[in-house]
């Protein structure tokens, strides 16, 4: 069976040719899918015979709401979706003055193993398909009735560990016959997979690349982010500089402030030294306390920010949203796994 919502219009055209149907139907089908049609019978402008043929060869992904939480503090909405194969993933909708942002997952679980992160605890189960990434945007907007203006690939998973599907998702969500979200309204966050950063640079997309830095020295970074043992801080910054040269796009560095681990002034100085030569923005994140993790939030955020600014860098502190609803990605899925008796239920292990 074919995952029809993962197909581009060109691929739909080829499929229609195989089915002896006119190619112009491809844009009709694409439009239905990207409006959230859940069955071929919804597609009222298609002949019945074509709907039957499609039903025989294709399926339409439709996630169901397993849990939904709405923050009483700021209206942040968090979804735990159940996918076709029973796995669960998280999506978060946040309201900012510049518009609504949806934070989507790119994999079921994650294999990057960061020491502070809830998503990494049970490892990676599988990659998400382009349709499953698109569905998170689509069904969040349909369920809430709210428009989405920005997308961040900052949920569960490592997008550059699922690069082909992510690129296809970007093409779909950007398409004018679909949700038509501009590349400048999309951010992709990576823990630092150097070959992926280089591959992305070649495409010269106008999206914003976020790099989860969390430490500017390899000793500390290897301790909290195992990926640093494969691609160390120096290789990472070389790739960042190459990325800037190719795309002209400013990189945003994510930095979760951890007490006594990465919040020393000398580390702020080192960040500035490594970014030198390109525009960089540092986003300081108050560490979300994950119960299973021993790391604690830093009390030096303001001082660290000042230190970065003294080097001429722009540094912002991320406003924490959804504090009452496990809004740090991975935590809701994590909790649901615990309640169902560990990792044995359908939330991630197949
Ligand atoms: N794998 C990608 C995207 C998912 S994580 C990446 O690593 O960038 C999204 C962001 O949340 C990353 O910057 C990640 O390091 C950060 N993060 C994970 N756990 C966190 C926690 N407990 N507190 C604060 N930020 C966290």
Tens digit of pLDDT for each residue in 160-200?
Answer: 999 999 999 999 999 999 999 999 999 999 999 999 999 99
Contact 188, 166 (CB under 8 A): yes
Q: Whose CA is nearest to atom 1 of ligand 1?
A: 158
Q: Which two tokens stand for residue 39?
A: 């069955």
- Quote the pLDDT of residue 350: 28
* 96 alpha carbon – ligand 1 mean position (Å): 19
* 60 alpha carbon – ligand 1 mean position (Å): 31
Q: How confident is the model at residue 248 (pLDDT cuts 50, 70, 90)?
A: very high
Separation of alpha carbons 173 and 176, rounded Å = 8
Q: Which two tokens stand for residue 50?
A: 């074509």
Residue 159 per-residue DSSP state: G
Contact 167, 203 (CB under 8 A): yes
- Quote the pLDDT of residue 111: 97
- Quote the pLDDT of residue 340: 59
Least confident span in 47-56, 134-143, 232-241, 280-289: 280-289
From the CA of 189, give the closest atom in ligand 1.
8
Cα radius of gyration (the chain) = 21
Catalytic residue (choose from 66, 90, 158, 254):
90
**Per-chain mean pLDDT for the chain:** 93
pTM attached to this predicted model: 0.94
**Can you tell me which residue has the tokens 């590349």?**
183
Residue to mutate, 112, 189, 225, 252, ligand 1, most ligand atoms under 8 Å from C-beta: 189
Q: Is the pLDDT of residue 70 over 70?
A: yes
From the CA of 289, give the closest atom in ligand 1.
22
Q: Whose CA is nearest to atom 12 of ligand 1?
A: 212
Least confident span in 69-83, 248-262, 323-337: 323-337
**Can you tell me which residue has the tokens 């060109």?**
10
Span 69-89, average pLDDT: 95
Q: How confident is the model at residue 75 (pLDDT cuts 50, 70, 90)?
A: very high
- Quote the pLDDT of residue 345: 33
Q: Is 55 a catalytic residue?
A: no
* 15 alpha carbon – ligand 1 mean position (Å): 39
Residue 171 per-residue DSSP state: H
Catalytic residue (choose from 88, 103, 240, 329):
329
Q: Is 90 a catalytic residue?
A: yes
Q: Is the pLDDT of residue 348 over 60?
A: no
Q: Who lines ligand 1 at CB under 6 A? A: 112, 114, 116-117, 154, 158, 189-191, 212, 254, 256, 285, 287-288, 290, 328
- Quote the pLDDT of residue 339: 67
Contact 122, 77 (CB under 8 A): no
Q: Give Cα 71 to chain centroid, integer Å.
A: 21
- Quote the pLDDT of residue 134: 98
Element (H, E) at 150: strand 150-153
Computed from CA positions of residues 114, 120, 124, 130, in that sequence, does the dihedral angle turn out positive or negative?
negative
Contact 191, 158 (CB under 8 A): yes
Report in angstroms the alpha-carbon separations of 63 from 97, 123, 275, 312.
29, 22, 41, 46
Alpha helices for the chain (secondary structure H): 9-18, 25-34, 48-57, 130-144, 163-174, 194-203, 218-224, 227-230, 233-247, 265-275, 301-310, 331-339
- Quote the pLDDT of residue 328: 63
Span 300-313, average pLDDT: 97
* 252 alpha carbon – ligand 1 mean position (Å): 13
Q: Is the pLDDT of residue 115 over 70?
A: yes
Count the neighbouring beta carbons within 10 Å of the beta carbon of residue 42: 14
Q: Whose CA is nearest to atom 13 of ligand 1?
A: 212
Residue to mutate, 285, 293, 332, ligand 1, most ligand atoms under 8 Å from C-beta: 285
Separation of alpha carbons 261 and 20, rounded Å = 63
* 212 alpha carbon – ligand 1 mean position (Å): 7
Span 257-270, average pLDDT: 97
Angle of helix 265-275 versus helix 233-247 axis, rounded to 10: 40
From the CA of 225, give the closest atom in ligand 1.
15
Residue to mutate, 224, 251, 254, 318, ligand 1, most ligand atoms under 8 Å from C-beta: 254
For the chain, the maximum distance between any two Cα atoms, rounded to a whole number of angstroms, is 69
Q: Is the pLDDT of residue 349 over 60?
A: no
Contact 268, 239 (CB under 8 A): no
* 333 alpha carbon – ligand 1 mean position (Å): 15
The 10s digit of each residue's pLDDT in 307-344 is 999 999 999 998 877 777 766 656 667 777 766 544 33
Separation of alpha carbons 284 and 301, rounded Å = 7
Q: Which two tokens stand for residue 116?
A: 């502070």
Computed from CA positions of residues 144, 149, 153, 155, in that sequence, does the dihedral angle turn out positive or negative?
negative
């Amino acid at each position: 069976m074919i995952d029809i919502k993962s197909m581009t219009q060109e691929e739909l055209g080829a499929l229609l040719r195989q089915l002896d149907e006119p190619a112009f139907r491809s844009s009709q089908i694409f439009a239905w899918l990207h409006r959230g049609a859940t069955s071929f019978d919804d597609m009222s402008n298609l002949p019945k015979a074509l709907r039957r043929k499609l039903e025989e060869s294709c399926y339409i992904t439709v996630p169901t709401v397993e849990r939904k939480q709405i923050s009483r503090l700021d209206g942040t909405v968090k979804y735990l979706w159940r996918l076709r194969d029973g796995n669960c993933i998280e999506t978060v909708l946040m309201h900012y003055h510049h518009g609504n942002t949806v934070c989507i997952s790119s994999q079921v679980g994650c294999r990057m193993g960061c020491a502070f992160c809830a998503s990494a605890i049970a490892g990676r189960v599988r990659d998400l398909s382009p349709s499953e990434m698109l569905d998170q945007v689509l069904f969040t907007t349909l369920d809430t009735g709210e428009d989405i203006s920005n997308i961040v690939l900052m949920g569960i998973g490592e997008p550059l560990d699922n690069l082909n599907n992510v690129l296809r998702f970007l093409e779909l969500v950007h398409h004018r016959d679909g949700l038509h979200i501009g590349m400048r309204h999309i951010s992709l966050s990576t823990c630092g997979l150097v070959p992926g950063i280089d591959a992305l640079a070649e495409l010269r997309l106008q999206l914003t690349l976020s790099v989860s830095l969390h430490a500017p020295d390899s000793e500390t970074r290897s301790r909290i982010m195992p990926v640093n043992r494969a691609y160390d801080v120096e290789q990472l910054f070389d790739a960042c500089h190459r990325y800037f040269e190719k795309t002209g796009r400013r990189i945003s560095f994510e930095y979760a402030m951890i007490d006594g681990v990465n919040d020393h002034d000398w580390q702020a100085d080192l960040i500035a030294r490594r970014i030198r030569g390109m525009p960089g923005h540092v986003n300081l994140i108050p560490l979300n306390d994950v119960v299973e993790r021993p790391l604690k939030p830093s009390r030096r955020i303001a001082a660290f920010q000042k230190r970065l600014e003294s080097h001429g860098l722009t540094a912002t502190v991320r406003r924490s949203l959804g504090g009452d609803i496990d809004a740090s990605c991975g935590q809701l899925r994590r909790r649901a796994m615990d309640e169902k008796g560990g990792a044995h239920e359908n939330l991630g292990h197949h």
